[in-house]
Amino acid sequence: MRKRERENPCSICGHYHKYEEGEVCGICGHCMPVSSDTAASPPQVVHVSAFPSEILPEFLYLGSYDNASRSELLKTQGISRVLNTVPMCQNLYRNSFTYHGLDNEKVLQFDDAIKFLDQCEKDKARVLVHCMSGKSRSPAVVIGYLMKRKGWRLAESHQWVKQRRPTTDISPEFYQQLQEFEQAIFGSGMMSAMNINDAPTFGYGFPKIDNQAQGPVFNSGTTSSIFSSPASSIPPQEFTFGATPPKPTTGGDITMDGS
């Protein structure tokens, strides 16, 4: 019987690969990040958390494919469902977890993801949302969920996720999709920013009156105007702007009707 190259599995992902030497796991892609400040100094192992980030207590978790590949650690957190946002990532433990995958590589399918997360919340099931690195795609999906279900704006949702997963670094393409999704949820924001006292300006050639909340008023109150009329006013179609008075039929002075 052929012996394994190493007796014990990787302490991080649980698979057999030489992670101390920087070998990439052939199953989940896990590798131990290594950095060295100088050539003389020995390599220093950068600590990477084996656990996904808890976004909403006892419900929503965010992580990478590396996190999703550690079944035992997910079970210790009570996670039973997984939302895979990358079509190319394999679902490794179908017998142990309930998976749901998004099948579009370029477009974030917010509605599909939110529908699955809603069902998880209804069933009181803890769910992990992951992409390959846990930095861009899956955080964007989680931010979209927070905007839709918590009613938070994009800036608030992004800050919430960033505080709980500092490695979050959303790409410009996905951030633009988040902005479009925010606009679809809350509107463009133009109406809330508009002053309701700013009445539209009508182009009758009259200057705008300062400190006037209403629309254009053709009667100053003290000076009579040809446009002023009693309650039973003449319909607009019975007079015309710029109309000339009729020519007199007889000689003598002409009396203008000021009513």
Active-site choice (13, 25, 89, 131): 131
d(CA 213, CA 196): 9
Buried b (16+ CB within 10 A) or exposed e, 101-114: ebeeeeebebebbb
Give the orientation angle of helix 137-150 with respect to helix 172-186, to 10 degrees: 10
Nearest CA-CA partner of 215 in 224, 226, 204: 204
**What is the DSSP code string of 85-113?**
--TTS----TTTSEEEE---SSS--HHHH
In eight-state DSSP terms, residue 69 is: T
**What is the DSSP code string of 204-229?**
SSPPPPTT--SS--S--SSS--TT--
Q: What values do phi and psi take at 62, rounded to 5?
A: -130, 135
How much of the chain is in helix, strand and coil states, percent to nearest 5? 30, 10, 60
d(CA 160, CA 112): 22
d(CA 8, CA 10): 7
Whether 131 is a known active-site residue: answer yes
Active-site residues: which are they?
131
